[in-house]
Structure 1
Amino acid sequence: MPQDGFVHLALGDSYTIGEAVNVDERWPVQLAHRLRKDSVKIDPVIVATTGWTTDELQTGIIKSDVEGTYDLVTLLIGVNNQYRGYPIDQYEREFKKLLDQAIQFADGNPYHVMVISIPDYGVTPFAKKKLLDEEKIASELDNYNAIAEKIAKLRDVKFIDITPGSRQAKDDPSLVASDGLHPSGKMYKMWVDEMYEHVFNNLSSR
């Protein structure tokens, strides 16, 4: 392990910045805390804003002056494309560019990159209140995630599927934050559980 520790670049939207939860409950921060307990020091750098679509994330990366290389790069994006009804081929085209950029940020090494699937907000109180079609949302997000997984596999990037677990929020209110829409810290911990073994093995072997 580098003497000064690792750096994790987390690219995304509200699910990465942790809308409606405390900073310590954001999943990149929870991941860092857990790794440190296992003697792997890592610091997260989060480039994410609530509401960002794929094209807005691309612009956000430029405006954030992200440069250099990172030891771990994660990408979770697309829910706002689906929510706004953007064409799915736009997502595919822009996701490819974002993932290629993520690999560049990982010094060209796809094994140091992870794609995280989009959670299903259709089961949340927010969706119910807005009378949104739960089955339609689930179907469309499954399509988005299938595209992301396909692109990730073609680039030898690890794909972490947290979507099935996110659907547990339908019957477990504790998995939803106080705004009725975003994941709670408890759900983010579930995400960390899903990715932890892969991340720990990846970093501790360097």
Structure 2
Amino acid sequence: MISNPDAVKSKYQFLSLGDSYTIGESVGAADRWSVQLAGMLRTDKVDVADPDIIARTGWTTAELQDAIKAANNTKTYDLVSLLIGVNNQYRGQSTDRYRTEFRDLLQTAIRFAGNRPGRVFVLSIPDWGASPYANGRDKNQIATEIDAFNTIAKDECQKAGVAYVDITPLTRQAAGDNSQFAGDGLHYSGKQMKQWASTALPVAEDLLKK
């Protein structure tokens, strides 16, 4: 877990849960989408701390849940984000398993938010099939599978009363533009993640008014 020691100085506390897309694999800490989002919120005069982060490259839903338990984080947050599932798809795990584990993670996120589903939001899974790394792979199959996982996530968010932010189209529009990707050709650059943060910004601002 990455903690922000200055968080207590801010009015709002923020927790970001996920995998490589949240930890910002292959880019600097300032380029992480949730760190960029916190900066945008502060620009809009919302006194929010940079996020605490529980995320690691390669994590599936089950591995994130295990890591949350191991972190033994007892803090309560004013805003909680969740972005998870690409590794479930990449490893060929079933959509049924994803639904069950994602639903559990949503409830975990809600507990972190002081049992306030209205303070939690989920970002959709990026389509890594549009990345340079995916050259030579079946991009249509990857897109179809990502869509199936995202449909489940959106459905579970609606049931739980959690906001859902669709960033997948942005990741597909990045195809062919190397500036949108990190040096490894698979993960995203700060430029692409800035678009995610901008898309999430009005949602986060609205949630913090609740």
Is the pair's TM-score, using the shorter chain for normalization, greater than 0.5? yes
| Kept after mapping to 1: 8 A contact 2:132/2:176 | no
Task: Please give the root-mean-square deviation of Cα atoms over the aligned residues, in Å.
Answer: 1.3
Aligned: 1:199 with 2:207:
no
Question: Which of these residues, 37, 48, 64, is aligned with residue 55 of structure 2?
Answer: 48
Aligned: 1:18 with 2:33:
no
Q: Deviations over 1:133-178 (max 9, x none)?
A: 1000000000000000000001111000000111012132211111
List runs of 5+ in structure 2 lacking aligned partners: 1-7
1:57-76 to 2 correspondences below 5 Å: 57-76=64-83
Q: Distance between the aligned counterparts of 2:200 and 2:108, measured in 1?
A: 21
Identity of aligned residues (%): 49
> What is the TM-score normalised by the length of structure 1?
0.94
Q: Distance between the aligned counterparts of 2:206 and 2:121, measured in 1?
A: 13
1:84-163 to 2 correspondences below 5 Å: 84-128=91-135, 131-163=136-168
Report what 2:42 is aligned to.
36
Q: Which runs of 4+ in 1 moved over 6 A?
A: none
Q: Distance between the aligned counterparts of 1:138 and 1:47, measured in 2?
A: 26
Report what 2:5 is aligned to.
none
Give the SS at the match of 1:46: strand
Give the SS at the match of 2:125: coil
Q: Distance between the aligned counterparts of 1:25 and 1:64, measured in 2?
A: 24
Number of matched pairs: 202
1:35 CA drift (Å): 1.3
Give the SS at the match of 1:62: helix
Q: Which moved more, 1:51-60 or 1:32-41?
A: 32-41
CA spacing shift, 1:149–1:33, aligned 2, 3 Å: same
List runs of 5+ in structure 1 lacking aligned partners: none
